Amino acid sequence: MKEREIYSHLKVFPPFAVRIDGRGFSRTLQRLGLEKPYDDGFAHAMVDSIELFFKESGLNPLFAFTFSDEISLLFNEMSYNNRVEKIDSIIPGFISSALTIQLKLEKPVSFDSRVIILGKEDIYSYLLWRQAETWRNHVSSYGFYTLLRSGLTENEAAMRLKNMKAAQIHELVFEQGINLAETPVWQRCGIMVYRESYEKTGYDPIKRMEVSTQRKKIVQDWDIPIFKTETGKRLISKLVL
């Protein structure tokens, strides 16, 4: 029967991204009564789950980028002989479990998963793409919930949005007192988790002197730049090095 495991030899070689996306989260999050379009507690639960992944999974992503119910993890190295089946099952499994714990859920949740093969030079373009999606999602979800509040049904709101240009959505939302250029950065640009070097100084009892060592800590960055800008480019180059 072992020969029937026909996908077990499928391998992927780093660098690559793994993007996971919450399955049916529109319904799931609605049932939980989360704030719309953005719930601070949900975003924190997602980012804390990613941080747990960095600390506890035994895998070593370069960094993670998240918005809404999706997470992209970038890898420059992988265990499990680079097997796609392992990668595509362990990662969403870990995050589903972590998120269930973070949100103290009573019903299980799941994430789908895909591997995106990237050359080192593609990582930046991949992030530009996902951040552009973050911005589009930000504009359309504020538009959507503004229309719902004005009395439209979900179908009507979706239809109306389809025919609206971005500037019109901005105007519509602005009339309700929300300036889409001034919403929290994490809603507009997404959130990253990565390791950052820092210098730790301490007394070395053997050398009998103060010594400094380079350590790494995991940071949640809720204030990331627009990747298109110079600051954004610099951040990505630093992380991809």
Ligand X SMILES: Nc1nc2c(ncn2[C@@H]2O[C@H](COP(=O)(O)OP(=O)(O)OP(=O)(O)O)[C@@H](O)[C@H]2O)c(=O)[nH]1
Binding mask 23-62 for Mg ion (x = CB under 5 A): --x-------------------------------------
Q: Which two tokens stand for residue 160?
A: 């109306």
Q: Does 29 bind ligand X (CB under 6 A)?
A: yes
Q: Does 21 bind ligand X (CB under 6 A)?
A: yes
Distance CA 6, CA 88 (A): 15
At 113 the three-state DSSP class reads strand
Within residues 50-89, the interface with ligand X by CB under 6 A covers 68-69
Among 42, 63, 65, 142, binds ligand X (CB under 6 A): 42
Q: State in angstroms the smallest separation of the CB of 225 from ligand X.
A: 22
Q: Over the Cα atoms of the chain, what is R_g?
A: 21
Q: Which two tokens stand for residue 193?
A: 């988790």
Residue 233 touches which of ligand X, Mg ion, none (Cβ within 5-8 Å per kind): none
Q: Which is nearer to ligand X, 34 or 192 (CB)?
A: 34
Q: Buried b / exposed e across 118-155, counting CB within 10 Å, b at 16+? A: beeeebbebbbebbeebbebbbbbbbbbbbbeeebeee
Q: State in angstroms the smallest separation of the CB of 65 from ligand X.
A: 15
Residue 68 touches which of ligand X, Mg ion, none (Cβ within 5-8 Å per kind): ligand X
Q: Does 133 bind ligand X (CB under 6 A)?
A: no
The dihedral of CA 17, 18, 23, 27: what is its sign?
Answer: negative
Q: State in angstroms the smallest separation of the CB of 145 from ligand X.
A: 9
Distance CA 6, CA 16 (A): 22
Q: Which is nearer to ligand X, 184 or 238 (CB)?
A: 184
Q: Strands (DSSP E) along the chain, which ranges? A: 16-22, 63-67, 70-75, 111-117, 191-204, 209-221
Q: Does 187 bind ligand X (CB under 6 A)?
A: no
Binding site for Mg ion (CB under 5 A): 21-22, 25, 69
